[in-house]
Amino acid sequence: MVATGRDVRWLGVRGVRWRRVASQVGRSVAVWAVSTVTMLVLAGILPDFRLRSADGDSATDIAVTAAFGAGAFGLLSAVVWPLLVRLLLLVPALVLGLLVFFLNGALLLLALRLDPGERGTAAPETAVVVAAVMSAVASATGAALAVRDDDAYRRRLYRLSDRRRRSGPPCPAGPGTVFLQLDGVGHDTLLDAVGKGLMPTVARWLGTGDGGRPTHRLTPWRTDWSSQTGASQLGILHGSNHDVPAFRWYEKDTREIVVCNRPTSAAELQRRAAGQAGHGGLLSVDGASRGNLFSGGAEQLALVLSIATRRRSRENRSRAGYFAYFSDPANAVRTALSFVAEAGREIGQSTRAGLRKQRPRVSRGGLYPFIRAFATVVERDVVVAAVMGDMLAGRTAVYADLVAYDEVAHHSGPASRDAQKVLERLDRSLALIENVAEHAPRPYRIVVLSDHGQSPGETFRSRYGLTLGDLVRAGCGLPVPRRAERTRSGAEARTAVRAALRIPVEEGGELHRPARRSEPIVLASGNLGLVSFPDVTHRMSKEEIDARHPALLPTLANHPGIGFLLVRSEEHGGVVLGAYGAEIPLADLDADPGPLAPFGPGAADAVRRTHTFPHAADIMVNSFHDPADGEVLAFEEQIGSHGGLGGAQGKPFLLSPLVLSAPLEDGEELVGAEHVHRVLHRWLRESNGPQVPLETSEERAA
């Protein structure tokens, strides 16, 4: 009997399937065996963990007990653990990370109870340790075996994808695009890290160091005046950041303080931006938004702040990313252990900085070690896993924010060793995502960008002994805290107030106090300050402020820690105020930049644009900036800051594959987040054609 070609193909396919089954069974047996040995070793080391009865058992009985316990624990982890995580999706991620240990320990105790011989016992606290070690060993063993087999590695990656890959529509043939935002990493910071060998993946893409051909181009861009994630990401994802003057500001019409990272505020800002831009967002066609403040119009969402207050449904899966990641107990244990290690690392680093009396320095106690650990471990792991799943599901556009560097640089400094270590880990995440792209069902183009940089410098308070709020109160003739009164800067502020009010300087005398009105609201966004008078329903003019508080504007403008002020003017429309009585109308800034000169090109345009915002504060305050060393003075307690003009904070980057069209024409500058949105939108249309919505008339006109 002669086998036909069809029979041969059928036998070949069946043989491949049997080999895959045999390979999978072999790996499972190997993991089981390693887990059994691990359990035996732990039983010999830990006094409160035993695998034999009180009367003693033979070596065979002990081995069988260990094998049964390891197998039962593995099955429970595979079957019960995902159900537990799904039930706990409403638990905050920080709490879930801590619960991982105890839930895993409970599964181990249950596995021991299932043994018919009832030989295995463990104290609850010991069970937590045993379960954590066994999960980590099983994960490492499985990963090591899978890496040696390309097909197994591919299947392991595919399991990260969600239901859409199994039941959704066919994957489009065109390339997909992954946008990875490295929060707070400035253009020069990236180049410095590449030069120091901290980011080999980025170096390879740029063709530096190893002599290889570059695959990406690096383009700097310039932020708006409000150089922070809220304004930049809203503009990038939704095409408009109009009327976002800062990270936080007071709105007189609603009498509310808007904060970009507050869920209700983020939802409202997203609604306004969509209305202003006239479209759903950059990710409105088959998109996924991961770890962002805003959705970008994506259907697939995880860790997106703007939808955090909505009721969860099938269409609203903001926290589904937690389930996709923590459903694997090995992932959960590894992340939880890394979380604890990172918190301990931060405590050690901050203690060492304190003992060395390092300057500048800010407080890093309280909950900050855990906040840092969440940003650098939990958020990173969950977001990277979600992006991998999106790529394996074949989604068209993915935008993800990795916030680790920004969080650490705020408290340790942008160029600190702590921050550089974070850059190394971020580069490894880029390499992992690049590797996953090779297994995706469609080609992917990886675009890396940042939303802003960070400028170094000590805080306004540490340099002068008083906050911006204290200075404003002094300028208004209001009482200031005694700690501020005793500082040299506080004394100078009192003298300036007396001089403006033409009151003789008398030590111990009382300042002239105006009639009692509501006190000003002073808010800080990095080195950008905002002063608003809530009892006045409109934006006050310079003339009105001078009539009410004659000393306020001179006190602020002449302070050495203040760079310039922006106020509305009844005569000129708007003016920039500086030291020594400098007063430049906005229309004349190009000819005479005055106080804006140290802030470089583009500062005048950024200030003029913010002046048009309906919710610009009565007084917009930008700190001093030293162009020589790039330092600014943050009005918040941060030694790496962003939010205003000055230094590296306003110069982020865009790293794009060469297969995409150049982001700019020759001689053109990439200015503002809305401009970045138009570039990214163009790239999506190049890759995916007509299904990406056309630009609005406003975008085409721009």
Output the six-digit token pair for 311: 């009721």
Write down the pLDDT at residue 484: 56
Across the range 575-599, mean pLDDT stands at 94
Write down the pLDDT at residue 9: 46
Average the pLDDT over each of 22-36, 43-57, 150-164 and give the range with the smallest value: 150-164
Please state, in angstroms and rounded to a whole number, the distance separating the CA atoms of residues 353 and 418: 11
286 pLDDT above the threshold of 70? yes
698 pLDDT above the threshold of 50? no
Average the pLDDT over each of 6-10, 157-161, 398-402, 681-685 and give the range with the smallest value: 6-10
Write down the pLDDT at residue 287: 93
Average the pLDDT over each of 48-52, 238-242, 389-393 and give the range with the smallest value: 48-52
Please measure the distance between the N-terminal and C-terminal CA atoms of the chain and give it in whole angstroms: 74
Please state, in angstroms and rounded to a whole number, the distance separating the CA atoms of residues 669 and 652: 13
Please state, in angstroms and rounded to a whole number, the distance separating the CA atoms of residues 394 and 443: 9
For a pLDDT cut of 90, what percent of the chain falls above it?
A: 49
- Are 222 and 599 within 8 A, CB to CB? no
Instruction: Give CA separation, 426 vs 152, 222, 324, in Å.
Output: 26, 23, 21
Output the six-digit token pair for 209: 């160091």
For a pLDDT cut of 70, what percent of the chain falls above it?
A: 66
Express each pLDDT in 255-281 by its tens digit: 999 999 999 999 999 999 999 998 889
Look up tokens 């499985």; give the residue: 142
Across the range 280-293, mean pLDDT stands at 93
Please state, in angstroms and rounded to a whole number, the distance separating the CA atoms of residues 283 and 299: 8
Look up tokens 């860790």; give the residue: 303
Express each pLDDT in 310-331 by its tens digit: 655 444 444 555 566 666 666 6
For residue 671, with 0-12 CB atoms within 10 Å meaning exposed, 13-18 middle and 19 or more buried, which class applies?
middle
Fold classified for 160-164+175-457+649-701: Alkaline Phosphatase, subunit A (3.40.720)
Residues of the chain with CATH 3.40.720.10: 160-164+175-457+649-701
Across the range 463-486, mean pLDDT stands at 84
Number of H helices, E strands in the chain: 25, 21
Rg (CA), the chain: 30
Express each pLDDT in 398-419 by its tens digit: 999 999 999 999 999 999 999 9
The pTM (predicted TM-score) of the whole model is: 0.78
Write down the pLDDT at residue 10: 45
Please state, in angstroms and rounded to a whole number, the distance separating the CA atoms of residues 384 and 319: 14
Per-chain mean pLDDT for the chain: 80
Could you tell me the pLDDT band of residue 282, with boundaries at 50, 70 and 90? very high
If you count them, how many residues does the chain have?
A: 702
Please state, in angstroms and rounded to a whole number, the distance separating the CA atoms of residues 269 and 230: 9
Please state, in angstroms and rounded to a whole number, the distance separating the CA atoms of residues 226 and 248: 10
Could you tell me the pLDDT band of residue 667, with boundaries at 50, 70 and 90? confident
Express each pLDDT in 614-655 by its tens digit: 999 999 999 999 999 999 999 999 999 999 999 999 999 999
546 pLDDT above the threshold of 60? yes
Across the range 602-617, mean pLDDT stands at 96
Please state, in angstroms and rounded to a whole number, the distance separating the CA atoms of residues 443 and 681: 18
Output the six-digit token pair for 290: 């991961």
In degrees rounded to 5, what are phi and psi of residue 459? -80, 155
513 pLDDT above the threshold of 50? no
Residue 131: how many CA atoms within 13 Å on its side-chain side? 33
